[in-house]
Amino acid sequence: MSYKSRDAARLASSIEDWLTQKVRTAGAVGGIVGLSGGIDSAVVAALLKRAFGSDMLTVLLPCGSNPKDKEDALLVVKAFDLPYREVDLSPVYDVFVQAFGEPLLPMASANIKPRLRMNALYALAQTRRFLVCGTGNKAEILMGYFTKYGDGGCDLLPLGDLLKCEVRALARFLKVPDEIIEKSPSAGLWDGQTDEGEMGMTYEEIDAYIAAEKGDEKVRTRIEHMKNVSAHKRAMPPVCIPF
C-alpha cells in the first residue's frame, strides 16, 4: 500500500464528536444501526456506544440470512456490551414476495431485504428519538455498492469518508473481535455472496484508486463505469422544471 491511511485514534475521536454534534443538532438523543455481523456495522456500533452510552441501539434483522451472521453479530454485542434487539423479517419478506403473484428478477428479490431493514430501523429510531446510522464506507459509496432506499437509506454515514483499510484499522483500534475483522465482507443477500466477488475487484484495489489513482487499466475502467452508472444513487431524485 503506497498511500497513507489516517490515524485510527484520531478518526475515532473525530467521528464520535461528529456523531454527537449531528444528533444534538437534529434534536435526537442517540443513534441506531443494523448489526449485520460484518466489520462496518461493528465499527459503527462501537462508535455509537462510545458517543452515546446506553442511548443507542443495535438491531439484528435476519431475513432468510445465514445463521453465522447472527452469531457474529452477537459476538459484537457481547464484545461491546451493546443494547440490541432482534426483529426477524423473514416472514415479512416471504409474504411480500408472494404478494406480487409473479417471479421477480433475482436482484430485485434480493434488494427487498435491505429495504425492509431500512423500514424496521426507521420505525425503531423514530420511537426512540434516534438517528439511523448507515455503514457505508468511501469505497462502497463511490462504487454505488449499496441498495437505493435500502442500506443507502439513513440519516448519517459515520464511515462515509473512510477507505476500507481505514475501517479495518479503526476496527483494530476499537478492539472489534478479530473474527469479524478477518471475515470476508458480504451484504448477505444470498448464500456465498461477497462484496469483492460481486464488484469484481478487491477493496485494496478500490482504495488504491481512490487514494492515489493507482490500478491497472481494467480496474480503473471498471471503477469509473460503476461510479458513473450509480451516480443516481448518490443524488436526490431530479426534479423536472417544465418550460
Furthest-apart CA atoms within the chain: distance in Å: 59
Q: Which one is catalytic: 40, 69, 155, 205?
A: 40
Q: Is 156 helix (H, G, I), strand (E, B) or coil?
A: strand
**Nine-digit cell string for 193:** 455472496
**Nine-digit cell string for 194:** 461477497
- In the residue annotation, 81 being an active-site residue is answered as no
Q: How far apart are CA 170 and CA 185, in angstroms?
A: 16
Q: Which one is catalytic: 69, 72, 140, 207?
A: 140
Q: Where are the beta strands (DSSP E) in 24-161?
A: 30-34, 56-60, 84-86, 130-132
Q: How far apart are CA 220 and CA 215, in angstroms?
A: 6
**DSSP state letter for 232:** G
Q: Which residues pair with 56 in a beta bridge?
A: 31
- In the residue annotation, 94 being an active-site residue is answered as no
Which residue's entry shows cell 476499537? 174
CB-based contact 7:45 (threshold 8 Å): no
CB neighbours of 218 closer than 8 A, spacing ≥ 6?
A: none
**Order of strands across the sheet with 30-34?**
84-86, 56-60, 30-34, 130-132
Catalytic positions, please? 40, 140
